Amino acid sequence: MADTEKVSFNLSVVDLGKMDLLVEQGHYASRTDFLVAAVRTQLLTHSSTLQDLVIRQSSLTGAAVFNRKTLERLVAQGKQLDLNVVGLLMLTKDVTPELAAAAIRTIKVRGAFRAPAEVKAALREKME
């Protein structure tokens, strides 16, 4: 399982040129290193805001992985999950579409959601 996701966006040619100049002068090893550093700097700048939002919205931060046994236990207890994830939500390959639909009431993911295609399709209406 990869712990990164590919993101693409457009930059002005002037900004791209400035970035290339910094790379050329050895401040960064590559354009990618520059962009990763820029994103991390912005996330650090806003860390207290992010922390407040995560707490206020009862979010799971990081990787949340649910398998068949866990979801079956919840259903047996008559419970459903309201999932609010910042990072990665993963439903393992042994989770059926019917089980996922029975165990999960709502899903909101800021990041990546990995699950078998048929499970994602069964949960589409529950996604915010």
13, 7 contact by CB (below 8 A): no
What pLDDT was estimated at residue 50?
80
What pLDDT was estimated at residue 5?
83
So where are the chain's domains? 13-45, 57-126
How does DSSP assign 50-110, residue by residue?
A: HHHHHHHTT-EEEEEEE-HHHHHHHHHTT--EEEEEEEEEEE-TT--HHHHHHHEEEEEEE
Closest residue by Cα to residue 72 from 103, 44, 49, 110: 103
Residue numbers of the chain with a pLDDT score lower than 70: 1-2, 54-58
What pLDDT was estimated at residue 29?
97
Please state, in angstroms and rounded to a whole number, the distance separating the CA atoms of residues 32 and 68.
38
Residue type, 20: D
Query: Considering just the CA atoms, what is the radius of gyration of the chain in Å?
Result: 19
61: which 2 tokens?
Answer: 């931060």
pLDDT in tens, 52-87: 776 556 678 889 999 999 999 999 999 999 999 999
